[in-house]
């Protein structure tokens, strides 16, 4: 319901309501009503406001508590309004009877009723405004709750991703340690088997002929032009490379370190004949002097 309809329900006609709202520039019902009571002349010209009284529908005009000039203007206007009986009397030549002007008590009663309607309208608007503010606050709270929930879900996903990555890294470290441990156990078992075999050979009776161990000799240096080396790495594919017989073992150590599968400290072991080569002690030894020409198979042994 707009302000014009509200003023019309209070008893003012449409023309007066529109003019009051226009004069007050839409400042509200209170300003419009105050302007109406402060300007009795326009209200008297427009007919003021009407309140029903009884089933006969008799109209009474009031502009609030105005002066005597306003009462005279209302009386003149009321005299211009005629009932059907008065029209018939005028036709017969009789003078119309003027309507009785409103008393101060009637004016005060109409003003009181009008003020009650204004107060009710003000209370209604206040309630509507409170309801609107509550709805807006509820929407803001729901939006903040949704945003907070989305942030929590994102944080939980990130925490799960980090935990899964740590779990995989831990599992990979465990597997790598197990591979290194297995290599060490294997090497230890090989050494123990070789030691026992040597003791067994030494414990044989001297009367029994002992077959001499064939000596492993490197071919003459003049017949070999390259040296092929294979290195078994723990947990990785064997490493194969070809060098010149006169190259230093430092090149082999560089290739092994660059593979990424070698620990910080290690040595290269040869099973037959049983020898070891360390980066710190044998880096300047050539492949020919180390007896690795024309080919040799080594395995990497971590040094703990």
Identity of the highest mean pLDDT range in 88-92, 107-111, 164-168: 164-168
Say if strands 266-270 and 275-277 run parallel, antiparallel, or are unpaired: antiparallel
Please report whether residue 106 resides in a domain.
Answer: yes
Length of the chain: 304
In this predicted structure, the answer to whether residue 220 has a pLDDT above a threshold of 50 is no
pLDDT at 71: 39
**Alpha-carbon distances of 26 from 7, 35, 114, 170, rounded to whole Å:** 13, 12, 19, 75
Do 13 and 123 belong together in one domain? yes
- Give the chain's domain count: 2
Please report whether residue 217 resides in a domain.
Answer: no
Across 62-82, b (16+ Cβ under 10 Å) vs e yields bbbebeeebbebbeeebeeee
Q: What is the mean pLDDT of residues 234-251?
A: 89
Identity of the highest mean pLDDT range in 3-7, 119-123, 214-218, 241-245: 241-245
User: Which strand (E) or helix (H) includes residue 58?
Assistant: strand 58-62
Q: Quick one: pLDDT band at residue 86, thresholds 50, 70, 90?
A: very low
**Nearest residue to 210 via CA among 191, 195, 197, 192:** 197
pTM for this one? 0.30
Please report whether residue 174 resides in a domain.
Answer: no
In this predicted structure, the answer to whether residue 52 has a pLDDT above a threshold of 50 is no
In this predicted structure, the answer to whether residue 104 has a pLDDT above a threshold of 90 is no
In this predicted structure, the answer to whether residue 293 has a pLDDT above a threshold of 80 is yes
In this predicted structure, the answer to whether residue 61 has a pLDDT above a threshold of 80 is no
Q: Quick one: pLDDT band at residue 51, thresholds 50, 70, 90?
A: very low
Q: Are 74 and 81 in contact (CB under 8 A)?
A: no
Do 11 and 125 belong together in one domain? yes
Domain CATH for 297: 3.10.20.90
Q: Which residues contact 35 (CB under 8 A, 6 or more apart)?
A: 20, 23, 24
Please report whether residue 206 resides in a domain.
Answer: no
In this predicted structure, the answer to whether residue 124 has a pLDDT above a threshold of 60 is yes
Please report whether residue 232 resides in a domain.
Answer: yes
Q: What is the mean pLDDT of residues 5-12?
A: 80
Do 232 and 116 belong together in one domain? no
Please report whether residue 148 resides in a domain.
Answer: no
Q: Are 271 and 196 in contact (CB under 8 A)?
A: no
In this predicted structure, the answer to whether residue 93 has a pLDDT above a threshold of 80 is no
pLDDT at 205: 58
Pick from 115, 131, 147: which residue ends a domain? Answer: 131
Provide the H-helix boundaries in the chain.
Answer: 3-9, 14-23, 29-38, 40-46, 68-80, 84-91, 104-202, 249-258, 279-282
Q: Quick one: pLDDT band at residue 178, thresholds 50, 70, 90?
A: very high
In this predicted structure, the answer to whether residue 179 has a pLDDT above a threshold of 50 is yes
In this predicted structure, the answer to whether residue 39 has a pLDDT above a threshold of 90 is no
Identify which has the larger pLDDT, 226 or 76: 226
Pick from 90, 111, 131: which residue ends a domain? Answer: 131
Please report whether residue 105 resides in a domain.
Answer: yes
In terms of C-beta density within 10 A (0-12 exposed, 13-18 middle, 19 or more buried), how is residue 39 classed?
middle
Tokens of 260: 């990424």
SS3 for 212-231 is: CCCCCCCCCCCCCCCEEEEE
Do 7 and 112 belong together in one domain? yes
Please report whether residue 22 resides in a domain.
Answer: yes
Identify which has the larger pLDDT, 118 or 221: 118
Domain that holds residue 289: 227-302
Q: What is the mean pLDDT of the chain?
A: 76
Pick from 131, 152, 171: which residue ends a domain? Answer: 131
pLDDT at 101: 63
According to DSSP, the residues that pair with 232 across neighbouring strands are 299
């Amino acid at each position: 319901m707009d302000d014009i309809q509200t003023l019309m329900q209070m008893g003012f006609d449409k023309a007066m309501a529109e003019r009051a709202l226009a004069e007050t520039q839409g400042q509200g019902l209170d300003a419009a009503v105050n302007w109406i009571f402060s300007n009795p002349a326009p209200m008297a010209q427009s007919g003021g406001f009407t309140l029903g009284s009884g089933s006969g529908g008799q109209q009474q005009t009031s502009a609030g508590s105005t002066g005597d000039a306003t009462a005279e203007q209302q009386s003149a206007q009321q005299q211009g309004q005629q009932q059907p009986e008065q029209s018939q009397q005028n036709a017969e030549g009789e003078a119309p009877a003027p309507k009785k002007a409103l008393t101060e008590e009637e004016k005060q009663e109409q003003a009181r009723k009008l003020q009650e309607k204004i107060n009710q309208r003000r209370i209604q608007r206040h309630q509507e405004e409170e309801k609107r503010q509550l709805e807006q606050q509820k929407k803001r709270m729901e939006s903040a709750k949704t945003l907070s929930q989305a942030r929590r879900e994102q944080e939980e996903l990130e925490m799960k991703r980090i935990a899964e990555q740590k779990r995989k890294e831990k599992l990979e470290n465990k597997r790598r340690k197990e591979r290194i441990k297995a290599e060490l156990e294997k090497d230890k078992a090989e050494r123990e088997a070789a030691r026992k075999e040597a003791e067994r050979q030494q414990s044989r009776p001297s009367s029994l002929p002992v077959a001499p161990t064939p000596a492993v000799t490197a071919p003459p240096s003049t017949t070999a032009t390259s040296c092929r080396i294979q290195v078994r790495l723990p947990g990785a594919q064997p490493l194969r490379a070809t060098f010149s017989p006169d190259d230093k073992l430092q090149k082999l150590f560089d290739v092994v370190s660059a593979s990424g599968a070698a620990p910080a400290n290690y040595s290269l072991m040869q099973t037959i004949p049983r020898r070891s080569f360390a980066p710190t002690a044998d880096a300047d030894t050539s492949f020919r002097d180390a007896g690795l020409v024309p080919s040799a198979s080594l395995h990497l042994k971590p040094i703990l």
